[in-house]
Amino acid sequence: MCGRLSQYRGIHDFVAALSMPNALANSVGDQPIERYNVAPTTAVALLHLQGDLLHADPVRWGWRPHWAKDRAAPINARVEKVAHGPFFRAIWPHRAITPIDNWFEWVDEGGAKKQPYLIRRRDGAPILCAAIGQLPDADEGPGEHDGFVIITADSAGGMVDIHDRRPVVLTPDLAREWLAPETLQQRAELIMLHYSEPTAIFEWFKVSKAVGNTRNEGAELILLCDN
């Protein structure tokens, strides 16, 4: 996963896709998010549970432990290692969902610049990505070290031609279970390892190379491009 995504629906649309009856503490706002070219290190709308209350918070995309100050903050975590490696040990218990509309990948097709592709669900529904992070505390509020990573797995089928990694995407039922504080860590590991949505639910197409510049943010970036 190359590290660029879109969040343009409103947070209430993403919450509705989860079908959660929980009360919502919303610090993202009620209007459509309308971000078509979201880059790492920026704040991304994230959903997480504290007790029975569902929180929607803007959280920085990227995180590293305090003892790893000499390296860049990763934005993704490999599903094969995240539960047991030392790097993400502190945040592995703190699960979240990153709801997105699509993500982008770049493919070398022999031109001067790589060709970007947009990947989205065929049914148009929101994409519910499994994530972990150092998350805002309900009582203390956001912290300077808050951040999150999206969990990724090997691609399969035709998506391999676009990129060899993709987000771990969950059904609404499994996303709710992933978020639930009572879900045991062993069960959470099983969910992310074996129950990600299959490649067949996605579609992808070429988009304008303008998406490569993070200063470009318009809705035209998610439209099919013939060149």
3-state secondary structure of 165: strand
Residue with tokens 């998350």: 135
Q: Catalytic: which of 2, 80, 129, 144?
A: 2
Q: How far is CA 73 from CA 50, 66, 115, 148, 194, in A?
A: 25, 10, 26, 10, 27
Annotate 22-32 with b (16+ C-beta within 10 A) or e (fewer). eeeebebeeee
Pairwise CA distance, residues 38 & 100, whole Å: 10
Q: Catalytic: which of 105, 182, 217, 220?
A: 105
- Identify whether 105 is a catalytic site residue: yes
Question: Which stretch of DSSP H or E encloses residue 15?
Answer: helix 11-18
- Identify whether 80 is a catalytic site residue: no
Are the C-beta atoms of 33 and 45 separated by less than 8 Å? yes
- Catalytic sites, residue numbers: 2, 105
